[in-house]
Amino acid sequence: MERYAWRARLLPGKKEEYIRRHDEIWPEMKAVLREAGIRNYTIWCEGDDLFGYYECESVREAGRVQDESPVVARWNDYMKDVMVMERDPVTGAQPLLSQVFLFDGE
Protein backbone atom coordinates (compact mmCIF):
# COMPACT_ATOMS: atom_id res chain seq x y z
CA MET A 1 0.00 0.00 0.00
CA GLU A 2 1.34 3.42 -0.94
CA ARG A 3 0.50 6.69 0.79
CA TYR A 4 -0.16 10.10 -0.69
CA ALA A 5 -0.43 13.45 1.10
CA TRP A 6 -1.32 16.90 -0.17
CA ARG A 7 -1.80 20.36 1.22
CA ALA A 8 -3.87 23.34 0.15
CA ARG A 9 -5.28 26.58 1.49
CA LEU A 10 -8.86 27.70 1.88
CA LEU A 11 -9.80 31.12 0.64
CA PRO A 12 -10.81 33.42 3.52
CA GLY A 13 -14.28 32.72 4.85
CA LYS A 14 -14.79 29.56 2.74
CA LYS A 15 -14.36 26.83 5.35
CA GLU A 16 -18.08 26.18 5.86
CA GLU A 17 -18.67 26.00 2.10
CA TYR A 18 -15.72 23.65 1.65
CA ILE A 19 -17.13 21.33 4.32
CA ARG A 20 -20.64 21.51 2.84
CA ARG A 21 -19.36 20.52 -0.61
CA HIS A 22 -17.53 17.51 0.84
CA ASP A 23 -20.58 16.54 2.89
CA GLU A 24 -22.42 16.45 -0.44
CA ILE A 25 -19.61 14.95 -2.56
CA TRP A 26 -20.93 13.71 -5.89
CA PRO A 27 -21.47 9.95 -6.21
CA GLU A 28 -19.55 10.01 -9.49
CA MET A 29 -16.57 11.61 -7.71
CA LYS A 30 -16.60 8.80 -5.14
CA ALA A 31 -16.71 6.31 -8.03
CA VAL A 32 -13.58 7.84 -9.60
CA LEU A 33 -11.76 7.66 -6.26
CA ARG A 34 -12.70 3.98 -5.98
CA GLU A 35 -11.61 3.36 -9.57
CA ALA A 36 -8.28 5.00 -8.73
CA GLY A 37 -7.86 2.53 -5.86
CA ILE A 38 -7.99 5.24 -3.21
CA ARG A 39 -8.82 4.19 0.35
CA ASN A 40 -8.73 5.85 3.78
CA TYR A 41 -8.99 9.33 2.27
CA THR A 42 -9.03 11.94 5.01
CA ILE A 43 -8.82 15.74 4.95
CA TRP A 44 -7.94 17.84 7.99
CA CYS A 45 -8.26 21.59 8.45
CA GLU A 46 -6.50 24.04 10.75
CA GLY A 47 -7.53 27.64 10.18
CA ASP A 48 -7.36 28.01 6.41
CA ASP A 49 -4.77 25.24 5.95
CA LEU A 50 -5.88 21.89 4.54
CA PHE A 51 -4.01 18.61 4.70
CA GLY A 52 -5.21 15.52 2.86
CA TYR A 53 -4.02 11.92 3.03
CA TYR A 54 -4.99 8.70 1.29
CA GLU A 55 -3.73 5.19 0.70
CA CYS A 56 -3.73 3.34 -2.61
CA GLU A 57 -2.07 0.45 -4.38
CA SER A 58 -0.18 2.80 -6.71
CA VAL A 59 0.17 6.56 -6.36
CA ARG A 60 1.13 6.73 -10.03
CA GLU A 61 -2.02 4.83 -11.13
CA ALA A 62 -4.26 6.82 -8.78
CA GLY A 63 -2.85 10.02 -10.26
CA ARG A 64 -3.36 8.81 -13.81
CA VAL A 65 -7.00 7.87 -13.23
CA GLN A 66 -7.69 11.23 -11.61
CA ASP A 67 -5.80 13.21 -14.27
CA GLU A 68 -7.79 11.54 -17.05
CA SER A 69 -11.18 11.91 -15.37
CA PRO A 70 -13.61 14.56 -16.61
CA VAL A 71 -15.40 14.22 -13.24
CA VAL A 72 -12.22 15.23 -11.37
CA ALA A 73 -11.70 18.14 -13.77
CA ARG A 74 -15.27 19.29 -13.06
CA TRP A 75 -14.73 18.86 -9.28
CA ASN A 76 -11.50 20.89 -9.41
CA ASP A 77 -13.31 23.65 -11.30
CA TYR A 78 -16.16 23.51 -8.75
CA MET A 79 -13.70 23.87 -5.85
CA LYS A 80 -11.51 26.66 -7.19
CA ASP A 81 -13.67 29.40 -5.66
CA VAL A 82 -13.15 28.03 -2.12
CA MET A 83 -9.53 26.84 -2.11
CA VAL A 84 -6.08 27.24 -3.64
CA MET A 85 -3.91 24.20 -4.34
CA GLU A 86 -0.39 24.85 -5.54
CA ARG A 87 0.56 23.06 -8.77
CA ASP A 88 3.96 22.30 -10.26
CA PRO A 89 4.23 24.58 -13.32
CA VAL A 90 5.93 21.84 -15.36
CA THR A 91 3.83 18.78 -14.50
CA GLY A 92 0.60 20.45 -13.38
CA ALA A 93 0.55 18.05 -10.40
CA GLN A 94 0.49 18.91 -6.73
CA PRO A 95 3.96 19.16 -5.19
CA LEU A 96 4.86 15.77 -3.75
CA LEU A 97 5.22 15.68 0.04
CA SER A 98 8.01 13.44 1.31
CA GLN A 99 7.24 10.99 4.09
CA VAL A 100 9.77 11.38 6.88
CA PHE A 101 8.27 9.17 9.60
CA LEU A 102 5.92 6.19 9.85
CA PHE A 103 4.75 4.36 12.95
CA ASP A 104 2.78 1.29 11.89
CA GLY A 105 2.11 -0.02 15.39
CA GLU A 106 4.85 -2.62 15.51
Positions annotated as catalytic residues are: 22
For the chain, how big is the Rg over CA atoms in Å?
A: 14
Q: In this structure, are residues 30 and 54 in contact, taking their beta carbons and an 8 Å threshold?
A: no
Q: Beta 49-56 vs 39-46: how paired, if at all?
A: antiparallel
Q: In this structure, are residues 63 and 92 in contact, taking their beta carbons and an 8 Å threshold?
A: no
> Cβ neighbours of residue 63 under 8 Å, at least 6 residues apart?
36, 93
